[in-house]
């Protein structure tokens, strides 16, 4: 007999709330995994981490949300082409052990209508550097949707991947300011066997680009292990360019503040580069 646990799928928070009320689990702690769908085993790890913690906690409800958030895309064509794979996503969510998967409605997420741009956040380097500098308004959109998701779900714990390290740092700050009692649980990046970080965007890579894409991780490791990581960045960027990548940034910054101030043990290397039109990001910790 299959040991797969059935997650229950809800088309909106209203029906999920009715379900937890009918099931008399309204007061149970919620472990929350927010996503934009097109799920892969990296998301599976987030859900499994939540399941493990829920089981250790005795009684807790693991909820995944799937909502492709328009306000965090700086490029409308990127939003239009973002993969939507709801049937496969529900299967992955079930396999990974969640109790529920909610597809919030646009009205639930944006009751006043989807704005052209979300309200500016202004968390300094956290929102303005690297991804924030390259994708104007991106973190404003992330914060707007995560704030609303947190309000709808009321989690005790929420799980985010370290692949989007800067997003994780922004969300930690949001939660510290606005959601007392919520703990953010970071989950390590899941990688393919050749080192490429799992991402919903990888499926857009052509065969030849996919075969080269792991160079991104290789140069990150080279920089991270170098005795002078800052000096190693331009050399590594040139190596990526020679392999056909267009590098948007390759930088070493403090992983807590996202500022260049060197603090031993805190520095990380961050990269964003396009390969065949597909934008990839990744990051690793510096050894020093």
Residues that bind ligand PAF (CB under 6 A): 34-36, 69, 72, 142, 145-146, 164, 167
Rank residues 70 and 229 by Cβ distance to ligand PAF and give the closer one: 70
Strand 246-254 vs strand 100-102: parallel, antiparallel, or unpaired?
A: unpaired
Q: Which of 43, 61, 177, 209 is catalytic?
A: 43
Rank residues 40 and 61 by Cβ distance to ligand PAF and give the closer one: 40
Give the shortest CB-233-to-ligand PAF separation in angstroms. 25
Rank residues 184 and 196 by Cβ distance to ligand PAF and give the closer one: 184
Give the shortest CB-93-to-ligand PAF separation in angstroms. 14
Give the shortest CB-5-to-ligand PAF separation in angstroms. 22
Q: What letter would DSSP give residue 269?
A: E
> DSSP states of 176-218 as a string?
HHH-TT-EEEEEPPPB-TTSPBP-GGGGGS-HHHHHHHTHHHH
Rank residues 226 and 283 by Cβ distance to ligand PAF and give the closer one: 283
What is the separation of C-alpha 225 from the centre of its chain, rounded to a whole number of angstroms? 25
Q: Is 43 a catalytic residue?
A: yes
- CA dihedral 150→151→152→157, nearest 10 degrees, is 40
Give the shortest CB-271-to-ligand PAF separation in angstroms. 17
The secondary structure element, H or E, covering residue 10 is: strand 8-10
**Which residue bears the tokens 């606005």?**
178
Residues in the chain: 288
Give the shortest CB-141-to-ligand PAF separation in angstroms. 8
CA-CA distances (angstroms) from residue 199 to 141, 215, 234, 243?
19, 15, 25, 20
Neighbours of 277 (CB within 10 A): 10
Rank residues 240 and 271 by Cβ distance to ligand PAF and give the closer one: 271
Q: What are phi and psi of 116, to 5 degrees?
A: -65, -35
Query: Active-site residues: which are they?
Result: 43
């Amino acid at each position: 007999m299959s040991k797969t646990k059935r997650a229950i799928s809800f088309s909106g928070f209203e029906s999920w709330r009715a379900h937890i009320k009918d099931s008399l689990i309204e007061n149970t702690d919620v472990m929350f995994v927010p996503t934009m769908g097109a799920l892969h085993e990296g998301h599976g790890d987030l859900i499994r981490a939540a399941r493990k913690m829920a089981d250790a906690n005795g009684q807790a409800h693991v909820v995944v949300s799937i909502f492709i958030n328009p306000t965090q895309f700086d490029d409308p064509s990127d939003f239009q082409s973002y993969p939507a794979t709801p049937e496969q996503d529900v299967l992955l969510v079930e396999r990974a052990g969640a109790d529920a998967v909610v597809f919030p409605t646009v009205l639930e997420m944006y009751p006043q209508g989807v704005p052209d741009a979300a309200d500016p956040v202004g968390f300094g380097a956290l929102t303005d550097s690297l991804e924030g500098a390259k994708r104007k308004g991106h973190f404003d959109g992330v914060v707007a949707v995560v704030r609303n998701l947190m309000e709808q779900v009321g989690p005790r714990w929420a799980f985010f991947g370290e692949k989007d390290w800067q997003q994780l740092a922004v969300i930690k700050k949001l939660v510290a300011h606005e959601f007392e009692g919520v703990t953010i649980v970071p989950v390590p990046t899941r990688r393919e066997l050749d080192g490429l970080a799992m991402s919903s965007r990888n499926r857009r890579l052509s065969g030849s680009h996919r075969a080269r894409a792991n160079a991104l991780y290789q140069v990150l490791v080279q920089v991270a292990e170098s005795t002078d990581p800052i000096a190693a960045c331009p050399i590594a960027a040139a190596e990526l360019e020679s392999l056909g990548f267009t590098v948007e940034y390759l930088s070493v910054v403090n992983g807590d503040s996202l500022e260049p101030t060197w603090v031993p043990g805190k520095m990380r290397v961050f990269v964003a580069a396009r390969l065949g039109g597909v934008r990839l990001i990744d990051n690793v910790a510096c050894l020093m």
